Copies of this chain bind each other. A is one copy, B any other.
């Protein structure tokens, strides 16, 4: 009876909050109210007073639009009060339209469907293999989001890793935003898929409190398999105006007072959610220390290889560093980390969305994930990266095989939009080192930095040009050659081309300043403004599409500092095919000759 009353309160509060806000998703909340009432009262082990307790269970609302229900749960658990609940969706309230970690009981932001479950896999993986604590991860999914491929990546991985600490509750209310879902109330269709992937599935009536209780008790009983509880529910359950009716998605009820009355009125029940009942501490990996690699000037090293070597060394110094890869670890050289630190390496197979989601889950538990794949394939996880920023996640992504310089593999494998995509992530850091010593200096800083960090690396080997004793900072740049006639700005492969261009220009008597703009975001406005003030013009060159990359970062810095100087932006402007790296750099118009030519045009004022 208490649970029924509690569930009704969760419904009433979902309605009240949405009505106060004038928007929100009360009906999507009402379908899952019974499920959450039982979870709170008897199954969840979460000390709301100590959200940072490492022993706590985790609760992820993958159906983030059911935020009124989540916040109603927080009120029932005494975590927030009723007055705060009524600030839902107001400017400045931490009760946003979709949950974010501004609330200490929320691990990650949700609201882009199909993401909460893969992040939950990351949390459960952390519990099993990193924290090594027996907390459970509870994920509430909607049935509409089950069509996202990322959900199946999560199903595959959870089973493969034997995550029996993961319990997914699917609120099968049958109705999506616009109509019936693909599978309606056919619980067996979901069950077949889940079992085919190696999950245990339990089908219940999601409004039968005893069935829910039994299912959650079973689910929490580890069997070596993850568990999905498939709950048949009704959207808007409990209120005739909306129950199981179409076109009632995502809006307040027309008659909230009537609905509240129908549900038995406003209640102010408190549920005492149990805290963790066992002792335990987060596992610590040994970190014997050791030096970071140093590279001799002139040595030919691919920056992707330096990534693997430096990351491996960093793992020996810093026990919280972990690595993930999308089945290309022999190309990204994260394989070196796997060899040194097998317990802290995670093979995510070819599932970039799940890879980034797992990293987000790990960082929520204060690990420092480095996730790598080809730069081109980071685009596969772009929605997850975007949402990771909303989650205030701290993690590092490494994209290898940047640009046309990869050569023969062709455009499908060439990261040519990664700088634009990663710059356009809130608060991100975007680095593109030109040699191995820069990688060695910058990577440890990324392991301490806030936000989404992106490191772009090259496939081919290039000579080391910076001394191992030089320091490089996030947000910095380096004038690698001084000159006052013209400035050449490059990073990665184009820095090497710019140096060759400076040689060509020197033969003609021109002194070119060459800037290694390894930090594309934040960008070194001071050095760029100085180049604008003290040289006759700036040429930028990048192995990237013309839009949103290094050249745009330079133009932005110049505009911000009021620097009025001619700029020629060189970038890849034709769709490349296969070929040798040099052929493709020439075709793209970003090799030394193209840079020198653009500089000459500036010098001659044409």
* A contacts, CB < 8 Å to B: 21-24, 64, 89-98, 100, 102, 109-114, 144-145, 147-153, 156, 160, 176-179, 181-182, 189, 192-193, 195-197, 247, 327-331, 335, 347, 349-351, 353-354, 376-377, 379-380, 382-383, 386-387, 389-390, 407-413, 416-417, 420-421, 423-427, 521, 544-549, 551-553, 555-556, 559-560, 562, 564-569, 575, 577-580, 583-584, 587
Q: What chain B residues lie within 8 Å of A389 (beta carbons)?
A: 575
In the docked arrangement, what's the CA distance between A547 and B389, Å?
15
> With contacts A147-B350, A424-B545 known, is A97 near B177, CB below 8 A?
no
The reply to whether B97 and A408 contact each other, CB–CB distance below 8 Å, is: yes
A92, A97, A578 pick with most chain B CB within 10 angstroms: A578
> With contacts A150-B149, A555-B552 known, is A93 near B577, CB below 8 A?
yes
Q: What chain B residues lie within 8 Å of A584 (beta carbons)?
A: 91
The reply to whether B412 and A64 contact each other, CB–CB distance below 8 Å, is: yes
Task: Name 14 interchain pairs, CB-CB below 8 A, sorted by A.
Answer: A96-B577, A97-B408, A97-B410, A100-B411, A110-B412, A148-B153, A149-B151, A149-B351, A149-B354, A178-B328, A379-B386, A387-B412, A390-B411, A562-B566
In the docked arrangement, what's the CA distance between A311 and B92, Å?
38
In the docked arrangement, what's the CA distance between A195 and B192, Å?
9
In the docked arrangement, what's the CA distance between A564 and B413, Å?
37
> With contacts A148-B350, A353-B149 known, is A546 near B556, CB below 8 A?
yes
> With contacts A98-B410, A412-B387 known, is A577 near B350, CB below 8 A?
no
The reply to whether A420 and B578 contact each other, CB–CB distance below 8 Å, is: no
Q: What chain B residues lie within 8 Å of A95 (beta carbons)?
A: 578
Q: How far is the CB of A80 from chain B (nearest CB, A)?
A: 15
Shortest Cβ distance from A149 into B: residue: B149
Q: What chain B residues lie within 8 Å of A353 (beta carbons)?
A: 149
Please give 15 more A-B residue pairs, beta carbons under 8 A apart, in addition to A147-B350, A147-B351, A420-B421: A97-B408, A100-B410, A112-B376, A112-B380, A181-B349, A376-B386, A379-B386, A390-B412, A390-B575, A416-B426, A420-B423, A420-B424, A424-B544, A547-B556, A552-B556
- Residue among B90, B109, B110, B387 making CB contact with A579, cutoff 8 Å: B90
In the docked arrangement, what's the CA distance between A22 and B110, Å?
46
- Residue among B335, B409, B427, B552 making CB contact with A23, cutoff 8 Å: B409
